[in-house]
Amino acid sequence: MTARVVIAGVGLIGGSFGLALRAGGFDGELVGLGRDPAKLDAALECGAIDRGETEAAAATSGADVILLAVPMGAMASVLAAIAPTLEPNTVVTDAGSVKGSFVTDAHRILGSLKRIVPGHPIAGTERSGVDAAFAELYRGRRVILTPTEETEPDATDTVERLWSLTGANVERLPVEAHDRLLAATSHLPHMLAFGLVDALARGDDPDAVFRYAAGGFRDFTRIASSDPVMWRDVCLANRNALLEALEAYRDDLEQLTAEVRDGDGDGLLARFRRAKTARDRFCG
């Protein structure tokens, strides 16, 4: 029975987790842990938590599960903050989009991975902060858990039950497989969106470019409005897998460039048809 859940970081992800748990029937205590009392007050006011704490010891006392919903760059410092008072049976999980670096940090700081359940909700928006949180964020979305060989099965089951209460579909993957797949499907698209907008913004006449940009540009670049600090941390934390994805895309972009340069209409048409078929199947 999970009676007390601590959410470290009550922004979009952590705040939505609290709201979704409550909407799903969770009747235990939700405790927010953060550095900014004003943000904790906002989370309290919207119902994402039942109380807020700025000190790790006060927040983690008696906790059954602790969710780290902070940027990748802050994971190690939060783990270090909770380590001195972490109770033996408390389950620690996270919501970061890179699992390898989290496992490395957790093992280094906590010494054991028995009660560590790395996790990643495949959900979010380009907005941030608890004001952007909503209870339906995870409904029908995938949440990937990547327990290690050392992780105790009951710890993973506990985290899976909590995510199921939010309406999410929970799946499990090895750590390496998660980071490789997310580099291609999430991290690479964000890098491309950020890179394109930055390149155009540094061009000769950015005002004209953006003035005449149509809906397709807006759709493609929406994720470039995401939190820059968060995505810098993701990029660095998963840089090996992301580099592989970037280099593979660069090679394919060179082929596309050659097709345009050579006037290869058949090649372009075949590429576009493959892409349309794949995306239609995905969206369907």
Question: Can you give the pTM of this predicted structure?
Answer: 0.89
Domain limit, last residue, from 173, 190, 219: 173
How does residue 22 score in pLDDT terms, banded at 50, 70 and 90?
Answer: very high
Among 118, 151, 173, identify where a domain stops.
Answer: 173
The yes-or-no verdict on residue 243 having pLDDT over 70 is yes
pLDDT at 7 over 90: yes
Residues of the chain with pLDDT > 90, as a percent, come to 89
Cα 119 from Cα 17, distance rounded (Å) = 13
**Average pLDDT of the residues in 49-59:** 96
Residue that is last in its domain, among 105, 140, 173: 173
pLDDT for the residue numbered 113: 96
Note whether 131 and 157 are same-domain residues: yes
For residue 115, what are the domain limits?
4-173
Here the CATH number for the domain that contains residue 48 is 3.40.50.720
Q: Tell me the per-residue pLDDT of 180-239, one tens digit each, with 9 for 90 and over.
A: 999 999 999 999 999 999 999 999 898 988 888 888 999 999 999 988 988 999 999 999
Residues 201, 108 within the same domain: no
Kindly state the average pLDDT of the residues 94-118: 97
**55 and 146 inside one domain:** yes
Work out the pLDDT band at 114, boundaries 50, 70, 90: very high
Number of domains in the chain: 2
Please tell me whether residues 29 and 118 are part of one structural domain. Answer: yes
Domain co-membership, 19 together with 46 = yes
Confidence of residue 1 (pLDDT cuts 50, 70, 90): low
- Taking all residues of the chain, what is their mean pLDDT, rounded to a whole number? 95
What local confidence, expressed as pLDDT, does residue 126 receive? 77
> Residue 142 — very low, low, confident or very high, per pLDDT cuts 50/70/90?
very high
pLDDT at 283: 82
Q: What percent of the chain has pLDDT over 70?
A: 100
pLDDT at residue number 253: 97
Average of per-residue pLDDT across 239-259: 97
